[in-house]
Amino acid sequence: MTRSRDDLRRLHFINELFAHVTGRDLYLAEQIKTAITFSLGELETQTAAHPEFAATFDDAFNAAAAKLLAQRFADLPQHGFFHWDAAATPHAATPLFTRAGIMTGLKQLAAFRESTLLVTNLRPALLPPALRATPRRQRDYTEALAFIRELTAARSARSADLHLLFI
């Protein structure tokens, strides 16, 4: 069975995102990926018929995976979880709103010794697929990644076990 590049990317994405559940076992990650894909069955069928819907399917797949991860951490009261979507509003990925969104998450996670901060759609917000990836857009994206990492490191307790995930 040959896999498409997108299918492999999704499999490895799920394997990393749910490593605490799967133990990095690709077979178990495949089961989770299949379940998410099954829940998006109609959209997957439309994507097969219309390849231009691939970006819509990817967005829906990422959102479903983030929702599943949030549900998983809701079952663990000692583990904090916060999801920040950089594409939630047109201005969410600007430096001011990025800082506000990340700080909101860090304040919420401060009470937990172990926590996960999930950042989604930062790349598409700053490097839209429909537009050309200019050097300025690439620089803005690189600076946003560095800014979030530095802010998270500076504003979280040294004793905290904080996982920062970018999707």
Judgement on whether residues 59 and 91 belong to the same structural domain of the protein: no
> Which two structure tokens, joined as six digits, stand for 103?
């700080």
Q: Are residues 30 and 85 in the same domain?
A: no
Which strands make up the sheet holding 79-85, listed edge to edge? 79-85, 114-120, 161-166
152 and 93 in a single domain? The answer is yes
Q: Exposed, middle or buried, 94 (CB in 10 Å: 0-12/13-18/19+)?
A: middle
Residue 152 token pair: 């998270």
What confidence tens digit (pLDDT) does each residue in 22-53 have? Answer: 888 888 889 988 888 888 877 767 766 776 66
Instruction: State the residue for tokens 């600007």.
Output: 94
- 37 and 82, same structural domain? no
Q: Same structural domain for residues 69 and 91?
A: no
Structure tokens at 41: 């069955």
Residues 51 and 100 placed together within one structural domain of the fold: no
Q: Do 99 and 52 fall within a single domain?
A: no
Domain holding 54, by residue range, is 1-75
Which of 75, 103, 128 is where one domain is finished? Answer: 75
DSSP 99-162: HHHHHHHHHHHTT-SEEEEEEESHHHHHS-TTS---HHHHHHHHHHHHHHHHHHHHHS-TT-EE
Are residues 69 and 127 located together in one domain of the fold? no
Do 22 and 70 lie in a common domain?
Answer: yes
- What local confidence, expressed as pLDDT, does residue 3 receive? 66
Residues 93-100 have a mean pLDDT of 92
**What is the distance of C-alpha 141 from the center of its chain?**
15
Q: 96 and 15, same structural domain?
A: no
Considering its fold, how many domains does the chain have in total? 2
Domain boundary among 75, 91, 113: 75
Domain stops at, among 28, 45, 75: 75
DSSP helix/strand/coil, 90? coil
Assess whether 126 and 53 both reside in one domain: no
CA–CA separation, 132 vs 167, rounded Å?
Answer: 20
pTM to 2 decimal places: 0.71
Statement to judge: residues 87 and 155 lie in one domain: yes
Mean pLDDT of 111-115: 90
Q: What mean pLDDT do residues 95-101 have?
A: 93
